[in-house]
Amino acid sequence: MNEIVLDDRLIREDLFPFTRTRPVSDIRIGILTIKEKWERFFNYSVVSAKQPDSTIPVIPANIIPDADLVSAIKENRHEQYLSSSPDILRIRYPWHIFQLNDQILRNDFELITRKRKSQPLSSSNKITSSDNIFVEEGVRAEHCFLNASAGPIYLGKNSEIMEGAMIRGPFALCEGAVVKMGATIYGATTVGPYSIVGGEIKNSVILGYSNKAHEGYLGDSVIGEWCNLGAGTSNSNLKNNAGDVRVWIESQKEFVSAGLKCGLLLGDYSRTAVNTSFNTGAVAGVCCNIFGEGLTPKYIPDFSWGYTLPSKYSIDNALRDIRNWKKLKKQTLDENEIITLKHIFEQTKLKEE
């Protein structure tokens, strides 16, 4: 296997809140993470950038690999290719994760399913464009509506779609994830591993192990890992004057245009109270307990406890609560996570609760 360095030093901070707790290469977009794309389909082992061998290619970690880039690397012309090709896909800001998800989900679907045979789906389901649907082993789906005419539908290993769900591709349901009864899901949406979703979702990416299990709208959004959206939580993704959505970039301490539509960007380990209403282009950091009156602020810092009169979430209570949530999915909080969370907590400037 070839080796490659995925360098995120110059881009990491602008992808807040998702790079607070992971390298850029561990961001999920399409069906797989960026690192998984390199390893599974392009035969590259990702190595540390701390002491790179001068012979190992160094590629910005936010670039989505494809066959043309791999060819350029093999021919030692990747630096020229990266500086000149108009076709390179890259995530510069966090909203690019959902903006590029349609194209990258289609690309991942082609890579994953090439020369493979799909498992069958039950005849109880109403299916459109069955040749554009791929089903892994262990999938459970009965009495659902699956329409892949506008884009592919990928159902990961041991995932489940409960009865009455209506899904329009492109759509990816990763390993062990669940779509609840009567859910309405539009493309391009990715539901990461072991997540649970319900209600209405459109053009959003859930990175993994998170819950949006109840009614409420999630659109043009990215949800981190180990998040929980309380019943009725919804986000605005379009300003009521149809104007430009500006999103807070913490590293630059300023608002940056995200285009016409942008919903919620929610960091890992964060949770919302029932009926939380997120402002257009809202950003919430890591490990926030989000509750309060009226629309949320446009920016909620890491470890926020509420937003009407915000204070700082106690680190001991936060770790306790994360352990409790992880138990629900038969997972544990490991030492590296604890170290990372304590570091983020120490950097957070909020009044102690």
For 282, the domain range is: 110-347
- Within this chain, do residues 56 and 129 fall inside the same structural domain, yes or no? no
- Within this chain, do residues 138 and 65 fall inside the same structural domain, yes or no? no
90 secondary structure, DSSP code? B
99 inside domain:
no
219 inside domain:
yes
pLDDT of residue 49: 64
Q: Does 170 sit behind a cis peptide bond, omega within 30 degrees of 0 on the bond before it?
A: yes
pLDDT of residue 46: 87
Count of structural domains, the chain: 2
206 inside domain:
yes
Structural tokens at position 350: 């909020």
- Within this chain, do residues 227 and 154 fall inside the same structural domain, yes or no? yes
- Within this chain, do residues 59 and 155 fall inside the same structural domain, yes or no? no
Distance CA 280, CA 16 (A): 17
* Domain endpoint, select from 58, 92, 126: 92
- Within this chain, do residues 169 and 138 fall inside the same structural domain, yes or no? yes
| 3-state SS string for 156-212 | CCCCEECCCCEEECCEEECCCCEECCCCEEECCEEECCCCEECCEEECCEEEECCEE
Confidence (pTM): 0.95
- Within this chain, do residues 165 and 231 fall inside the same structural domain, yes or no? yes
pLDDT of residue 233: 98
CATH number at residue 235: 2.160.10.10
- Within this chain, do residues 83 and 185 fall inside the same structural domain, yes or no? no
275 inside domain:
yes
- For residue 45, count other CB atoms closer than 10 A to its CB: 12
pLDDT of residue 309: 86
Q: Which of 253, 136, 236 is nearest to 245 (CA)?
A: 236
Q: Mind listing the pLDDT tens digit for each residue in 293-337?
A: 999 999 999 999 999 988 999 999 999 999 999 999 999 999 999
Distance CA 61, CA 211 (A): 27
* Sign (positive or negative) of CA dihedral 13, 17, 22, 26: negative
The DSSP bridge pattern shows strands 28-29 and 32-33 to be antiparallel
Q: Mind listing the pLDDT tens digit for each residue in 41-56?
A: 888 988 876 555 678 8
Q: What residues does 135 pair with on adjacent strands?
A: 155
Structural tokens at position 340: 């990372």
Residue indicated by tokens 């907590």: 345
- Within this chain, do residues 141 and 82 fall inside the same structural domain, yes or no? no
- Within this chain, do residues 266 and 139 fall inside the same structural domain, yes or no? yes
* Domain endpoint, select from 92, 127, 146: 92
46 inside domain:
yes
Residue indicated by tokens 């110059």: 10
58 inside domain:
yes
252 inside domain:
yes
pLDDT of residue 52: 56
Question: What string of pLDDT tens digits covers the 353 residues of the chain?
Answer: 788 999 998 888 999 999 999 999 999 999 999 999 999 988 898 887 655 567 888 999 999 999 999 999 998 899 899 888 888 999 999 999 999 999 999 999 999 999 999 999 999 999 999 999 999 999 999 999 999 999 999 999 999 999 999 999 999 999 999 999 999 999 899 999 999 999 999 999 999 999 999 999 999 999 999 999 999 999 999 999 999 999 999 889 999 999 999 999 999 999 999 999 999 999 999 999 999 999 999 999 999 999 998 899 999 999 999 999 999 999 999 999 999 999 999 998 876 65
* Domain endpoint, select from 66, 92, 118: 92
- Within this chain, do residues 40 and 178 fall inside the same structural domain, yes or no? no
Cα dist from 230 to 197, 266, 271, 275, 277, whole Å: 12, 13, 7, 7, 11
144 inside domain:
yes
pLDDT of residue 50: 59
pLDDT of residue 85: 87
pLDDT of residue 51: 58
pLDDT of residue 2: 87
- Within this chain, do residues 226 and 339 fall inside the same structural domain, yes or no? yes
- Within this chain, do residues 31 and 140 fall inside the same structural domain, yes or no? no
